[in-house]
């Protein structure tokens, strides 16, 4: 079955190593995507804002297009919803460009337009640092790299600039991504936007309590808005205090819980491939059909289609111009 994946860090990793999108040792390359039956992969440009500035994002975007150009016989960029159906019809896979940490606009709303013109169609407002747009639930210690994964911030939401930011995104037809954002920020996005939004790579906090996952109220509110959360395959987000291994059953547990709480229309996939370093039962994206098989005892074919691609495409159709 075809799938859409809302988040990976592959391009950021390839840019650093000057690696090839066609074939590499990462979780995601074009050969593995083909084997896994990928319909659309979101490629995030992750900027570590304490050590990099916006020039990193622009250079990594150039690299993304170099790689797509070199492989134009296999994959094409998505700029509008119709591109997805057209590429699929002709036999190309789809690539959608996203940002992880929206502060690379350097405090200028007009730079959102600049990124739009460069093909960015989804923006994760924050990573794990306060960034002038909003706040995360927790922030890593820069010395030790340790984070308190269970710390939730219900106090600090979007800044005034952040409110203007999400409004500009909606005007342009860009998808707001609340993964990493504080709980207070989530409710601000709900308050200050009108269109469906997503958590591109977050699971269910009732199944695994880390603050990167959504609690049941957030899942319900996201579902009521018509949004989707893409489950994250990182072991620490799948199972409490598991830094080692992501089992397929663990992934299924999150999907079942989100579908039970928010309904079948609000759950999708957001692997975080090439942003996670634990071992997985689905070793890379070529193994995505194992998840399809594992869902069959719990869901109908129609329901799995929604989980694998139709829910996310519904949001893209509604929000993208
Ligand atoms: Zn992330």
Ligand 1 centroid to 180 CA: how many Å? 7
C-alpha of residue 45 to centroid of ligand 1, in Å: 10
Residue 99 bridge partners (DSSP): 45, 123
Q: End-to-end CA distance of the chain: give it in Å, rounded.
A: 27
Average pLDDT, integer, range 36-46? 98
Query: How much distance in Å is there from the Cα of 160 to the middle of ligand 1?
Result: 23
Mean pLDDT of 300-311: 98
Query: What is the pLDDT at residue 115?
Result: 98
Region 38-44 average pLDDT: 99
pLDDT value at residue 18:
96
- The CA 223 to ligand 1 mean position distance, Å, reads 21
**Contact 36/1 with Cβ under 8 angstroms?**
no
Domain containing residue 146: CATH number:
3.20.20.140
Q: How many domains does the chain have?
A: 1
State pLDDT tens for residues 191-207. Answer: 999 999 999 999 999 99
CA of 253 to the centre of ligand 1 (A): 21
Q: From the CA of 212, how far away is ligand 1's center (Å)?
A: 9
For 216, the token pair is 């049941």
Q: Which domain holds residue 100?
A: 3-319
For residues 72-83, average pLDDT? 98
Å from CA of 270 to ligand 1 middle: 10
For the stretch 225-251, pLDDT in tens is 999 999 999 999 999 999 999 999 999
Name which of 103-107, 218-222, 264-268, 317-321 the model is least confident about: 317-321
Q: How far is the CA of 8 from the centre of ligand 1 (A)?
A: 8
- From the CB of residue 250, how many other CB atoms can be counted at a distance below 10 Å? 21
Q: CA-to-CA distance for 197 and 189, rounded, in angstroms? A: 9
Strand runs labelled E in 179-262: 198-199, 228-231, 245-246
Pairwise pLDDT comparison (290 vs 143), residue with the higher score = 290
Cβ(23)–Cβ(31) under 8 Å? Answer: yes
pLDDT tens sequence across 102-140: 999 999 999 999 999 999 999 999 999 999 999 999 999
User: What is the residue-wise DSSP string for 50-77?
Assistant: TT--HHHHHHHHHHHHHHHHHTTTTEEE
Cβ neighbors of 93 (< 8 A, separation 6 or more) are 30, 33, 34, 38, 39, 40, 41, 74, 75, 76, 87
Inform me whether the pLDDT recorded for 146 exceeds 90.
no
**pLDDT of 272 above 90:** yes
Stretch 139-155: mean pLDDT: 91
Give the pLDDT band (50/70/90) at residue 147.
Answer: confident
CA of 89 to the centre of ligand 1 (A): 31
Distance between CA atoms of residues 28 and 9, nearest Å: 9
């Amino acid at each position: 079955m075809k799938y859409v994946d809302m988040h990976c860090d592959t391009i950021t990793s390839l840019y650093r190593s000057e690696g090839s999108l066609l074939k590499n040792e990462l979780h995601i390359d074009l050969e593995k995507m083909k084997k896994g039956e990928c319909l659309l992969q979101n490629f995030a440009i992750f900027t570590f804002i304490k050590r990099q500035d916006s020039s990193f994002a622009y250079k990594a975007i150039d690299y993304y297009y170099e790689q797509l150009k070199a492989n134009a016989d296999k994959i094409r960029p998505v700029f509008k919803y119709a591109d997805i159906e057209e590429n699929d019809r002709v036999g190309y896979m789809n690539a959608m460009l996203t940002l992880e940490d929206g502060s690379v606009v350097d405090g200028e709303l007009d730079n959102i337009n600049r990124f739009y013109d460069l093909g960015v169609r989804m923006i994760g407002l924050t990573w794990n640092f306060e960034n002038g747009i909003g706040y995360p639930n927790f922030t890593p210690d820069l010395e030790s790299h340790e984070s308190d994964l269970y710390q939730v911030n219900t106090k600090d939401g979007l800044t005034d600039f952040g409110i203007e930011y999400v409004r500009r995104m909606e005007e342009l037809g860009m998808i707001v991504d609340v993964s990493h954002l504080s709980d207070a920020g989530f409710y601000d996005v709900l308050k200050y936007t009108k269109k469906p939004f997503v958590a591109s790579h977050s699971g269910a906090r009732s199944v695994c309590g880390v603050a990167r996952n959504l609690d049941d109220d957030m899942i319900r509110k996201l579902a009521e808005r018509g949004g989707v959360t893409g489950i994250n395959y990182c072991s620490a987000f799948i199972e409490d205090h598991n830094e080692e291994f992501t089992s397929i059953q663990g992934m299924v547990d999150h999907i079942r819980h989100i579908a039970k709480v928010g309904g079948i229309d609000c759950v999708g996939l957001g692997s975080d491939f090439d942003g996670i370093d634990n071992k997985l039962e689905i070793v890379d994206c070529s193994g995505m059909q194992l998840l399809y098989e594992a869902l069959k005892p719990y869901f109908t074919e129609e329901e799995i289609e929604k989980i694998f691609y139709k829910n996310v495409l519904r949001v893209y159709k509604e929000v993208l111009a």
